[in-house]
Amino acid sequence: MNKRTTCPYCGVGCGLIADPTDTQEHIAKLTGDQQHPANRGRLCVKGSSLHETLGMETRLLKPQLYGNEVDWEQALDEVAERLQRCIREHGPDSVAFYVSGQLLTEDYYVANKLIKGFLGTANIDTNSRLCMSTAVAAHKRVLGSDTVPGCYQDLELADLLIITGSNMAWTHPVIYQRIAAAKQARPEMRIVVIDPRRTATADIADLHLDLAPGSDASLFTGLFSHLLASDALDHSFIDKHTEGFEDAQHRSRAAAMDLATTAQRCQLDREKLQTFYDWFTQTEKTVTVFSQGINQSINGVSQASTILHCHLATGRIGKPGACPFSITGQPNAMGGREVGGLANQLAAHMDIENPAHRRIVGNFWGSDRLPVRPGLKAVELFDAVADGKVRFIWIMATNPVVSMPEADKIKKALTNCDCVVVSDCVADTDTLRLADIRLPAAGWGEKDGTVTNSERCISRQRAFLPLAGDAKPDWWIITAVARRLGLGKQFPYQCAADIFREHALLSGQDNAGGRDFDISGLAMLDNDAYDQLAPTQWPYPVAARAGRARMFEDGRFFTRSGRAQFVDTTPCQAYSSDKRWPLVLNTGRIRDQWHTMTRTGLSARLQQHVPEPFVELHPDDMARLGIQPQQLVQVRNELGSCTVKARATTAQQTGTAFMPIHWNDCFTTAARPCVLIESRFDAISGQPAFKQTGVAVSPLPCRWHATLISRHRIDLPTHVYWSSRRNTDWHITTLAGDCDLDIATLKTQWASPGRTWAEMDDGSGDEIRLLAYDHNKPVIWFASQRETAPDIDEPWLVAAMHATTLNALQLAAGRASGQLASGALVCSCHQVRESTIVDAIVSGCRSVESVGEKTRAGTNCGSCIPEITALLTTSSTTTTLSTKTSTTTATATTENVC
């Protein structure tokens, strides 16, 4: 039976239709939901590949205590006993929860209720602290509430769309394609992309501002000054609906951010800067989309607040096609904020430090134990674990050993913590390896509840698969522990609908329009109505018949005076590196991966687009440092080091570097960039600065490079680098080493009863080929050589290994006789490689559309269109194209992990 559900990836919140075809094996067909307002049936490549991630092979299926499998009774008793003992001996602030935007709203609500309502501490924070807490703080300071004012339609209606700190083409592809379609329908629509790097998103930009890293505050302070100097203000809106404008004027004049000063601080061309300021001044229907490039900064709240100021000063808020728009990274970052998932919040957008709010929540929950001060924010929380102040931590659906700054410090802190509980659906993560108690949580296709996307739209996530093994929903696990603590009356939940009704009812308590979040109109849904709930935007109070697309249309804000506030903001100088660590490292996402790869790492096709971890550098920096493309390098600073491949791109500014955040110790040797990130964070929001870190990059000498293809993961020869992924039934591992290899040693290491071998070398050890056969079927293929990795045609070779029709000599070559490799994967949706696209171009295709008609590349999610465009451009100036390395100039995003 088909079920409508919601995609578990980014904050767009795309609807899906799930058709389980084999529930026992967890196999399902997934398609886009034509009726969901966020995507209208369209999916990105990650959403299109979700069916490849549903298998049981990597799941955590049973509870484990100290490495031994146990039943739920034993596991839950142990969690409750350790929790009680810690509070009894060390006080309530010695315990903490660290949760995730991967949880459903109902899970989030129960966790928040337990720790803040009944354990007597506010030490619960979420990985959304790492991506969205700056936007939350700016919204609350300026607008009086954590309210995203607009909706997705505003991005299409705008005459000027500003995208800052986000590579939406890769991180929010479905919304990006909606924008691209709007631009095509209205060519007069102007798009400005603000990013130190030229990413795929800039391909549709009329203007790309490649400002200096960390200079965003100066850019928008300069814009505010320009609006004042030009008198491009909505005086009526300012007078009727804002406060603090005069002080903001004085601060702006004191900052002296004229065009020349701003251009100098941002290292921007004055004419380009003037164009941007003029467009903003002249265009009433303006939307500014901001994300991690703004948020992940020690000055993030000031940056985001200044963006809000520019919209308030011009009255561009609460109107179709005119608003500031914070776009979230995770599927339920917004839902977590709604139920108080951050350490400084209470449920229903209420505040811990507000006595009236504490009274409302305390009375509703029947608790007199609510904390009166905020708990520890993420960085502070793990510092407290390291210092021994937090002795019990429960981590749910997240991987902080990979995603937190100073990640090695986090690893050491958890190693030494008295009790670490981890709830997760997978059996192996960097964090799970450190857990004393492991609790198997329901996976995405098994979970039932709600999520809220970036436009405040609540969508149902419906279970379409049975629970795997002994896995349980997160809300069930938390509730079961609460009952063991004597809180059965306060935690009576039998299903997710019970929790949703309570959450909705709380949102309406003593709320006569005085708080933004109110879904009390949904509090009376029975189980059937909850099951059938259609996507609904909040607020949805009791008297409502529908949700609201836009907020603040009446100019009334959720401050004490009902007026928006112009608050103190302080621009700071752009980040500058020092002599020891001369390159400025930025971190973010790539197109086909998500967070720490626990889900996307299961999809063979998603791993083919960018198969190994890398650092991107400008070619001039690579030449200066003596680094060749695809050479192994070390990226290091005083905190740690990473070992990755080097990639050259002119999309990167000189003096800067970029690394993706996805790879971790489960997939490669040492590629967690967060080991390099210092724990610097915004003083107001607590959000870490992932965007500017000083590093040095140097070549890593190696004596050999190799590729290993095996049926199963096997022990590797002594190495300095490895990176492994899946391709159908095979494990593909690339590795390199600095000591000699020999065939006899490898055969001994990989020996198995009845195994036969085919071996080849050149006599000097410079090249080795080794194949292993079990029952005449190839099970291991290994090739090593000096200087560079073996040049193979992976699709051909994997198919040949499956077919078992070729002899060892033919297989050893790694490619069809006389054929070039098929090149990098460009279109993951339809598995179209570079050579196929080049052939289409050579045959006469001269546009993205014609290439799509001939090859299907670019015809689904559109994420690969920038790469197709790059191939079209390259092929127009040369008659041949090497397919050994990708020519794409589209690079990864300025967004980071949550």
Q: Which CATH class is domain 583-699?
A: mainly beta
- Whether residue 607 has pLDDT greater than 80: yes
DSSP-derived secondary structure letter, 127: G
Residue 8 C-beta-side C-alpha neighbours within 13 Å: 28
- Which of 353, 350, 407 minimizes the C-alpha distance to 375? 353
- Whether residue 575 has pLDDT greater than 80: no
CA distances from 815 to 288, 738, 790, 798 (A): 49, 27, 11, 10
Model confidence at 868, pLDDT cuts 50, 70, 90, reads confident
- Whether residue 251 has pLDDT greater than 60: yes
Residue 3 C-beta-side C-alpha neighbours within 13 Å: 20
Query: Is the preceding peptide bond at 92 cis, omega within 30 degrees of 0?
Result: no
Model confidence at 762, pLDDT cuts 50, 70, 90, reads confident
- Dist. CA 487–CA 496, nearest whole Å: 18
Q: Which residue has the tokens 């049981």?
A: 56
Helices vs strands, H then E, count in the chain:
30, 36
pLDDT of residue 574: 67
| 3-state secondary structure string across 582-626 | CEEEEEECCCCCCCCCCCHHHCCCHHHHCCCCEEEECHHHHHHHC
Q: For 293-352, write each residue's pLDDT tens digit.
A: 999 999 999 999 999 999 999 999 999 999 999 999 899 999 999 999 999 999 999 999
Q: Domain 64-127+332-537, what fold?
A: Rossmann fold (3.40.50)
pLDDT of residue 888: 32
- Dist. CA 390–CA 377, nearest whole Å: 13
Q: Which amino acid would we find at residue 236?
A: S
Q: Is 687:300 a contact under the CB 8 Å cutoff?
A: yes
The length of the chain in residues reads: 898
CA distances from 232 to 161, 228, 237, 278, 660 (A): 18, 7, 12, 10, 40
Q: What is the mean pLDDT of residues 550-570?
A: 95
Please work out, in degrees rounded to the nearest 5, the angle formed at the alpha carbon of residue 134 by the alpha carbons of 133 and 138.
115
Question: What CATH number labels 825-875?
Answer: 1.10.10.1100
- Whether residue 454 has pLDDT greater than 90: yes
- Which of 601, 816, 870, 815 minimizes the C-alpha distance to 725? 601
Q: Which residues contact 634 (CB under 8 A, 6 or more apart)?
A: 641, 642, 643, 697, 698, 700
Q: What is the mean pLDDT of residues 116-122?
A: 97
pLDDT of residue 830: 82
Model confidence at 804, pLDDT cuts 50, 70, 90, reads confident
Average pLDDT over all residues of the chain = 93
- The dihedral built from the CA positions of residue 221, 225, 230 and 236, taken in this order, carries a sign that is positive
- Dist. CA 684–CA 844, nearest whole Å: 56
Strand partners, 871: none
3-state secondary structure of 820: coil
Residue spans of alpha helices (H) in 786-892: 794-803, 808-813, 834-842, 848-855, 865-875
Same fold, 3-53 and 825-875: no
Q: Which amino acid would we find at residue 155?
A: L
- Dist. CA 354–CA 673, nearest whole Å: 38
Q: For 273-284, write each residue's pLDDT tens digit.
A: 999 999 999 999
DSSP letters spanning 477-541: HHHHHHHHTT-TTT---SSHHHHHHHHHHHHTTT-SSSSS---GGGTT--HHHHHTPPPEESP--
Q: Is 885:824 a contact under the CB 8 Å cutoff?
A: yes
Helices 355-365, 496-507: axis angle to 10 degrees equals 140
- Dist. CA 874–CA 586, nearest whole Å: 27
Domain boundaries, the chain: 3-53, 64-127+332-537, 133-326, 583-699, 825-875
Q: For 172-220, write each residue's pLDDT tens digit.
A: 999 999 999 999 999 999 999 999 999 999 999 999 999 999 999 999 9
Evaluate if pTM is beyond 0.95.
Answer: no
- Dist. CA 72–CA 585, nearest whole Å: 44
Strand partners, 668: 723
pLDDT of residue 821: 55
- Dist. CA 148–CA 225, nearest whole Å: 25
- Whether residue 897 has pLDDT greater than 90: no
Model confidence at 573, pLDDT cuts 50, 70, 90, reads low
Q: Domain 133-326, what fold?
A: Dimethylsulfoxide Reductase; domain 2 (3.40.228)
Q: Is 737:707 a contact under the CB 8 Å cutoff?
A: no
C-alpha distance across the termini of the chain, in Å: 34
Q: For 403-413, write each residue's pLDDT tens digit.
A: 999 999 999 99
Strand partners, 735: 706, 722
pLDDT of residue 866: 80
- Which of 660, 687, 683 minimizes the C-alpha distance to 404? 687
DSSP-derived secondary structure letter, 468: P
Model confidence at 876, pLDDT cuts 50, 70, 90, reads low
CA distances from 707 to 681, 794, 795, 809 (A): 41, 10, 14, 17
Q: For 436-448, write each residue's pLDDT tens digit.
A: 999 999 999 999 9
Q: Domain 3-53, what fold?
A: N-terminal domain of TfIIb (2.20.25)
Q: For 625-681, write each residue's pLDDT tens digit.
A: 999 999 999 999 999 999 999 999 999 999 999 999 999 999 999 999 999 999 999
Q: Which residue has the tokens 């009166």?
A: 372
